[in-house]
A = this chain, B = another copy of it.
Amino acid sequence: MSIGYAQSNISAQIQQLEQELNTKLLDRIGKKVFLTESGEQLLPYAIEMRALASTIRDKLDNDHLSHSRIVVGASESLCVFKLPAIVESFRRSHPNNELHLELIENAQVVEQLTSNAIDVAFTIGNSIEHPAITSFLKKREEVLVLSAPTHPLQSKKALAITDFANQPFLLTSTSCNYRETFECDLKSHGIPYQVTLESGSVQVIKKMTISGLGLCVLPRLAVQDELNADLLATLPYKNDYKVYSQLFCHASKWLSPNLADFIDPIIKSI
């Protein structure tokens, strides 16, 4: 009983197949068995079908180790300052996995995850809490007001919000949460200010600030290098802006092994 079926089953199965195909597959002439014309024709298809089934199993099983496509939605700052190391490491451990990076803003997280346009979101901004969205990581990010080290305001020991009156600011796009937060702060105190430059690129803002064009408001993670190199300096303005970097998936999303492999290191490393 090497193939795991009773003999009677084989008879029955063959007869069933013959009925279903409305033909005869085997001729039993004497003690020998011959394939009929129909049987001869069926054989290659049967083999093909078995092969196809095996292929499916192989592809889907191996696939957990090999190819897949993960779409990451991330905000610009994180793309520049956090993701490179993560992506590099993931690509090393999962060389056959396609990683697609989509630039999104904090406000789009829920919609993008709900529409399944992205598999995972990694953004910085206001806290997001949503019943349908799972947050794997929520890290408070320090928001700094910065200038070139030579800026006149650097001489002050401490700054109040009023000290920013009429200062020229280099800010990120309006939809950016920490700009929003900062502007609220100014406006709620009735402080006038100028927006000298508005750019979606953190890199541009930093360069211009270094050149002394004005002040900027950025999370520490985006400026750590420049602080270390004394290209930028923080201004001693105390704030408690609630800004977080967060990592999300849709709650109903199945975490494929590959996706889990992408997410886990982020959670652990931060």
Closest to A57 in B: B21
Given A29-B114, A116-B29; A38-B56 close (CB under 8 Å) = no
Query: Number of copies of this chain in the oligomer?
Result: 2
Residues of B within 8 A of A68 (CB): 37
Contact stretch, chosen from A8-16, A179-187, A215-223, A249-257: A249-257
Contact B69 A29 (CB under 8 A): no
Closest to A64 in B: B23
How far is it, in angstroms, between the C-alpha of A193 and the C-alpha of B69 when the chains are bound? 93
Residues of B within 8 A of A21 (CB): 56-57, 60-61
Residue A152 at the B interface, CB < 8 A?
no
Given A52-B48, A114-B30; A41-B24 close (CB under 8 Å) = no
Closest to A23 in B: B60
Nearest-neighbour CB distance to chain B for A250, whole angstroms, equals 5
Nearest-neighbour CB distance to chain B for A188, whole angstroms, equals 36
Contact B55 A52 (CB under 8 A): no
Residue A28 at the B interface, CB < 8 A?
yes
Residue A225 at the B interface, CB < 8 A?
no
Residue A32 at the B interface, CB < 8 A?
yes
Residue A88 at the B interface, CB < 8 A?
no
How far is it, in angstroms, between the C-alpha of A60 and the C-alpha of B55 when the chains are bound? 25
Closest to A20 in B: B57
Nearest-neighbour CB distance to chain B for A44, whole angstroms, equals 10
How far is it, in angstroms, between the C-alpha of A36 and the C-alpha of B32 when the chains are bound? 50
Residue A159 at the B interface, CB < 8 A?
no
Residue A27 at the B interface, CB < 8 A?
yes
Residues of B within 8 A of A253 (CB): 27, 29
Q: Identify 8 residue pairs between A and B in the complex whose beta-carbon atoms are under 8 Å apart, listed by A's number.
A: A21-B57, A21-B61, A27-B250, A28-B252, A29-B116, A36-B254, A37-B69, A38-B63
Q: Interface of A with B (CB < 8 Å)?
A: 21-24, 27-30, 32, 34, 36-38, 41-42, 45, 48-49, 52-53, 55-57, 59-61, 63-64, 68-69, 113-116, 132, 250, 252-254, 256, 258
